[in-house]
Amino acid sequence: MEWFTLSLLSPTNAGIVDFSSYLLGTILVILLPGPNSLYVLTIATQKGWRSGAWGALGIFIGDSILMLAVALGAASLLMSSPILFQLVRIVGAIYLAWMGIGLLRSGMGRWTSQSHAKMFEIQARLMQLHPLFAALSLSLTNPKAIFFFIAFFSQFIKPDFAHPAITFVYLAIILQLMSMAYLTALILMGQFFSKYFRHHHRLTAGLWILAGSLFMGFALRLILV
């Protein structure tokens, strides 16, 4: 590994162009609302910080797998096989819609329910999958993320740099660290509001209905856009 030295820890030496713009762009991208962050916030609000942490870990693993897939040429495979791309996109849309419908049904059921026992029954059915696997599935069933990573990262990689893979990994690590910091903030926010929502079941129901509607919108966008 003679090509790796401590000097590569410097953004400039690692082949990164305009590092400050990359940081700004990464912050803006992370702050954009999407199914991953919405899921972590929702699950943390309803089930506590541990479930939120599992969800964040699932997102981290899923995004890391997608970034690795990009490095290994998955984007070229999807571009050369439109059928495969459409299949992955349809599966992702179905999964988003399934989660959206579940949230809508739970929210509407909780809105009309006055029984605490009934509320807990609805809440138990809210997310049938473990948060880790639910979040991991959310991340992996979005093929557009692969093309996003290519389009976004390629703007900041020097074309004449000898080891572009190092630059890609450098950019990916920074994005993941900033993403986890943001998800941690969402978990803490969800934990803070969880006690309040626990005693206001209609407010909680409204949150679920809103989240379900957004997930349905994400599913439609994945199919139509």
The 10s digit of each residue's pLDDT in 112-146 is 765 444 444 444 444 567 889 988 988 888 767 77
The β-bridge partners of 60 are none
In a domain, residue 26? The reply is no
Q: Provide the pLDDT confidence category of residue 208 given band limits of 50, 70 and 90.
A: confident
Count of structural domains, the chain: 1
Distance CA 60, CA 207 (A): 25
Query: In which domain, by residue range, is 143 found?
Result: 33-224
Please state whether the predicted TM-score (pTM) of the whole model is above 0.75: no
Domain-embedded: residue 17: no
Residue 20 lies in a domain: no
Q: Is residue 9 part of a domain?
A: no
Domain assignment of residue 68, yes or no: yes
Are 107 and 25 within 8 A, CB to CB?
no
The answer to whether position 15 is within a domain reads no
Position 1 pLDDT exceeds 70:
no
196 part of a folded domain: yes
- What's the CA gap between 168 and 156, in Å, rounded? 9
pLDDT tens track for 37-54: 888 988 888 788 899 999
